[in-house]
Structure 1
Amino acid sequence: MTPPDHAIAAERVFDGEVFLDDRAVLLRGERIIDVTTTPPPGVSVTRLPPGAILAPGFIDAQVNGGGGVLLNDDGSVEGLRRIAAAHRLGGTTGLLATLITDTRPTIARAIEGVAAAIQAGVPGLLGIHLEGPFLSPKRIGIHDPARLARFGEGDAALLTALGPRGITLVTLAPEEVPPGAVADLVARGARVCAGHTADDGAAIRRVLGEGLTGFTHLFNAMSQIGPREPGAVGVALAEEGAFAGIIADGHHVGDLQLRLALRLKGADRLMLVSDAMPPVGDVSDGFTLFGRRIRRDGNRLTGEDGTLAGAAITMAEAVRHMSGRGGASLGEALAMAALTPARFLGLDHRLGRIAPGFSADLVALGPGVSVTETWIGGVPTRPGDGT
């Protein structure tokens, strides 16, 4: 074995699936090379405090903003750096910057901004999530209805312009796109989720056959289960192979519904997302979204009419809520924040586990799932270190 250049030792290590006691994770460069009970002699060792947990870094597939920045308003390298840095303090070591419904020129700029930020090495940025503009006006949520669009010629190429430079995730309403649109997006390398949909279930079942693999923020902004029509929620819960993101912030989804979703989907298909907005990592009491004032009350964000407007939580807070009130064990909640999203994004060959050959993307957790340190590619950052 190639000698390690550093080790991180903890009383408890969650390897992505199970807890291990008294282990040392051996690192060389950006990679984990071994997990052992005893570090080799002469190797520099970071020892976590008693009771701390070392876990795979969290992966968030839905981050609209953070650090006072909204992707729709600022897709620059520096803006994306601030977003990623704000979420890293909550244990997120990998994220998809998320653009909510906007114009095609803004979509193009956001994609190129994400590409530039990845090229510049912004830590933790994995790609882009395009949430809209091909959504149902009946389930628009806080999105701007004036920016909704019909899927047309050239849109598949536009949405997948990031190409191999990063991950592309597209959320759309299946009933709002023509047959073959999802298949085209998937063929071009995108992952596709159903969201902001009013469909009774028929269109969703059709696009499952075209390659749809997930559902965006389960229960929210989608058709519900009826006595005869399953709606988006029913299809998401019944379709065993489909992934579903869920916002465990105490506002978007009730605790009983969290427990139901976990029981039906399991921790290997239900993944935590923050749906975070600019106030994460920022002291402001709100922000402006397309000319509408969004108010913050704790971690709850609403428009003036009371419509939920994303969330103001970190992934660590989502893990805490899911394991405290959502019916999950701590191990299940940690998997829902790391290995499950890694599987959904096709990155589970290098992210989401603490195992030889995997990237050294790690989070150290103290009491109450508090984040004390993170590593991305073996490089540490502690809360308070800044960007």
Structure 2
Amino acid sequence: MTAAKQNLTTGSIAVARLFDGDTWHYNVELSWQQGIITGIRPAAGAVHAGALASGFIDLQVNGGGGVLFNTAPDLATLQIMAKAHACFGTTAMLPTVITDSVSVMQQAADVVAQAIAAKLPGIIGLHFEGPHLSVPKKGVHPACHIRPLTDSEMAIYQRNDIGIKLITVAPENVTPAQIKQLTEAGMQVWLGHSDADAATVELALAAGARGFTHLYNAMSPLTSREPGMVGVALTDADSWCGIILDGQHLHPIAAKLALAAKPKGKMLLVTDAMSPVGTTDCEFAFFGGKVIRQGNKLTNETGALAGSVLDMASAVRYTIQALAVEPDEALRMATLYPAEALGCADRYGRLRQGYRADMVLLDEQFQVQHNWIAGSTVYQVRPLE
């Protein structure tokens, strides 16, 4: 038997190591049919030297491949974004539309609905980061579009054709009653871009908010007498925290503190990726201004951080190398925990019989060698033999 054989969405691969989301297996063969894993068994012949893991799941993707979702919310943009991030192990993402007009939000919802109906590989829902945010903590979100929740936005949020729905809100600008209304509409409510005090944050959690968007960044800090959003995020045992581990958005000590404070399973990797990911672009237009790239740092013309050029594979490597997190836990932060946060861990985030054959093959340095979505190759360094 060869180390790998496949035909469209049916095939098999034999690997030296396989991480199923819980444990490591050695010298095994994984098979799939019609994009679904059918079994894992001892390998009978040659195996690939790499490690096979579940594909990465990214909750916050603004762009990639030279395109930004807000700027061109169309199917071509989604295809380019998905292809760009597939090179870095991402097999499922929430395209993210940041604070903008109702018309742009509507276009974003329309195109995600089209993508899901057409089964565009990698697109599983939509993240609305805004527009119901706090102006003092807006970051690079355009203040002219920050606004209260109205019936116009709610009509978009109530749609049932856009897959998994996540929204980031500032709890000082969205009431507990509105958060409850959003959750009843099928939205996953996360908190961020907020200057709220701890009491307001706790009320939002009690009303149904489930997580925190890019922990530490653009949120009220932890201080001795006012814990702020950061303090509540770190001490609440039931909520999830997305974290941008690119070496720019937070100090390694702050990241280690968060990992130590938060219960295991509640911290997950996100990229907050912008258009330059997967390109050599050094700047791009952004709401009438521009964002400049210096190395792996993106800032607007005033020097404020403006998203990232982070990819999920780099985030996994940083977690292992800079934060001394065990590889299996770093992989869970990119796979299982995002799936659990999104409520889709019954089919995503693990390599098990009955799960989707969304998989990434990594070398010893956790560089992506091959990537599959539903058993179909979407990226490869070289063909598997």
Give me the TM-score of the superposition, normalised by structure 2.
0.94
Partner of 2:137: 139
Corresponding letter in the other structure for 1:235: V
Q: Distance in 2 between matches of 1:263 and 1:240?
A: 12
CA RMSD for the aligned pairs? 1.6
Partner of 2:94: 96
Preserved contact between residue 157 and residue 185 of structure 2 (Cα < 8 Å) = no
Does residue 201 in structure 1 map to residue 198 in structure 2? yes
Q: Cα offset for 1:280?
A: 0.4
Q: Cα offset for 1:334?
A: 0.4
Q: Distance in 1 between matches of 2:22 and 2:267?
A: 14
Partner of 1:371: 368
State which of 258, 262, 270 in structure 2 corresponds to 1:261. 258
Partner-residue secondary structure (3-state), 1:180: helix
Q: Distance in 1 between matches of 2:184 and 2:378?
A: 38
Corresponding letter in the other structure for 1:104: V
Q: Distance in 2 between matches of 1:340 and 1:83?
A: 22
Preserved contact between residue 86 and residue 379 of structure 2 (Cα < 8 Å) = no
Partner-residue secondary structure (3-state), 1:117: helix
Partner of 1:187: 184
Q: Deviations over 1:313-370 (max 9, x none)?
A: 1100000001111231111110000000000001100000000100000000013211
- Any gaps of 5 or more consecutive residues in structure 2? 1-8
Q: Cα offset for 1:106?
A: 0.9
Partner of 1:85: 83
- Give structure 1 regions of 4+ aligned residues with deviation exceeding 6 angstroms: none
Partner of 1:323: 320
Partner of 1:23: 28
Q: Cα offset for 1:297?
A: 1.1
Preserved contact between residue 59 and residue 338 of structure 1 (Cα < 8 Å) = yes
Partner of 1:42: none
Partner-residue secondary structure (3-state), 2:307: strand
Partner of 2:171: 174
Preserved contact between residue 169 and residue 193 of structure 1 (Cα < 8 Å) = yes
Partner of 2:5: none
Partner of 2:3: none
State which of 329, 332, 344 in structure 2 corresponds to 1:332. 329
Preserved contact between residue 64 and residue 84 of structure 2 (Cα < 8 Å) = yes
Q: Distance in 1 between matches of 2:42 and 2:161?
A: 38
Q: For residues 292 and 47 of structure 1, do their structure 2 counterparts lie closer, same or farther at Cα, with a shift above 3 Å needed?
A: farther
Aligned ranges for residues 8-19 of structure 1 at < 5 Å? Answer: 8-19=13-24
Q: Cα offset for 1:155?
A: 2.8
Partner-residue secondary structure (3-state), 1:34: strand
Corresponding letter in the other structure for 1:97: P
Identity of aligned residues (%): 39
Q: Cα offset for 1:164?
A: 4.4
Which deviates further from its counterpart, 282-291 or 131-140?
Answer: 282-291
Partner of 1:358: 355
Q: Distance in 1 between matches of 2:168 and 2:82?
A: 21
Corresponding letter in the other structure for 2:58: D
Does residue 306 in structure 1 map to residue 303 in structure 2? yes
Partner-residue secondary structure (3-state), 2:293: strand
Partner of 1:276: 273
Q: Deviations over 1:254-294 (max 9, x none)?
A: 11111111111244110000000000012211111101110
Q: Deviations over 1:40-74 (max 9, x none)?
A: xxxxx9942x2x11000000000000011111011
Q: For residues 19 and 210 of structure 1, do their structure 2 counterparts lie closer, same or farther at Cα, with a shift above 3 Å needed?
A: same
Q: Distance in 1 between matches of 2:77 and 2:199?
A: 40
Which deviates further from its counterpart, 338-347 or 176-185?
Answer: 176-185
Aligned length: 374
- Any gaps of 5 or more consecutive residues in structure 1? 40-44
Corresponding letter in the other structure for 1:126: I
Corresponding letter in the other structure for 2:357: A
Which deviates further from its counterpart, 166-175 or 12-21?
Answer: 12-21
Q: For residues 301 and 25 of structure 1, do their structure 2 counterparts lie closer, same or farther at Cα, with a shift above 3 Å needed?
A: same
Preserved contact between residue 197 and residue 222 of structure 1 (Cα < 8 Å) = yes
Q: Deviations over 1:63-104 (max 9, x none)?
A: 000011111011111110000110010000000000011011
Corresponding letter in the other structure for 2:111: G
Aligned ranges for residues 116-265 of structure 1 at < 5 Å? Answer: 116-161=114-159, 163-265=160-262
